[in-house]
Structure 1
Amino acid sequence: MTVKIVENEKELEDAFSVRRTVFIDEQNVPEAEEIDQHEEEATHFVLYHEGSPIGAGRFRLVDGFGKVERICIMKQARGTGAGKTIMNGIEDYARKMGIQKLKLNSQTYAIPFYGGLGYEVVSEEFMDAGIPHKTMVKKI
């Protein structure tokens, strides 16, 4: 598995394809909420396995934090370490940028996954796109 920082239209479309499959098709998030006004300012990541996109995520600077967003893995690649691989790639990027604090909004079912990567819950539960979430942070 290889984490790639998106550098061209094909790679961006690969990232969007994974996000559409996971968030729009599987989780019924409206496309207008999934593909939002922050796409152009974000750094996008795509995870490839044997040339096929299997994961995606994006990263932005927000209020002094590196904000990790839109992390998703294709169904057939879940449980293979793909999620940890893309998160490690994004965290490595943040470190190279000199970022020391990361934040993300986790769907509540994924809190144990992010907790295993060192993230801590810092908020009450809230709804985003009709799905319960909690904010989590990590110092790197």
Structure 2
Amino acid sequence: MFKVVQNHTELEQAFDIRRKVFVNEQGVPLENELDNYEEVATHVIGYDTNNTPIAAARFRPFNDGVKVERVAVMKEHRKTGIGKDLMQFIEQTAQNLGYDKLILNAQIQAQRFYDNLGYSPIGEIFMEENIKHIKMTKSL
């Protein structure tokens, strides 16, 4: 089950998932993971059937659409379809808010995942937090 974060507890659960995935697994410094966009972003959290938090992401207004960021799924739930479900929830939520374009910076190892969801790469590969990324977009 996915939902837009509505309280401090849910936001802390989302931050905890991001800390585990990006800081602990990928070595991103905590001060770079939690940034000044937290308060303007719409945060999303996903739970398993036991109501355990297993996935999180955020999106925020960006240029003529929304920028999807910090997409994270707990390691033991990857390759189960949770990431696809999370992205579809984000897309539907953004569309319900009146947006029709999504932008994201995909880690290269996740590019095929986003390709399969209809995102298209734009530009050159670049480094962000010592991880190769590619900008991708999708029109809804």
| Bin for the TM-score computed over the shorter chain | over 0.9
Superposed CA RMSD in Å reads 0.6
Q: Which runs of 5+ in 1 are unaligned?
A: none
Give deviations 1:35-76, integer Å, cap 9, x for gaps: 001000000001100210100000100111211100010000
Q: Which residue of 2 aligns with 1:66?
A: 66
Structure 1 segments of 4+ aligned residues over 4 angstroms from their partners: none
> Hey, what's the Cα distance between the residues in 2 that align with 1:123 and 1:131?
16
Give aligned pairs, total. Answer: 139
What amino acid is the match of 2:97? M
Give deviations 1:2-23, integer Å, cap 9, x for gaps: 0110000110011001000000
> Hey, what's the Cα distance between the residues in 2 that align with 1:114 and 1:103?
11
The residue matched to 2:134 in structure 1 has which SS? strand
Q: Percent identity?
A: 46
The residue matched to 1:124 in structure 2 has which SS? strand
Within-5 A mapping of 1:38-117: 38-49=37-48, 50-117=50-117
Within-5 A mapping of 1:120-135: 120-135=120-135
How far residue 85 of structure 1 moved from its aligned partner, in angstroms, is 0.9
Q: Which runs of 5+ in 2 are unaligned?
A: none
What amino acid is the match of 2:103? K
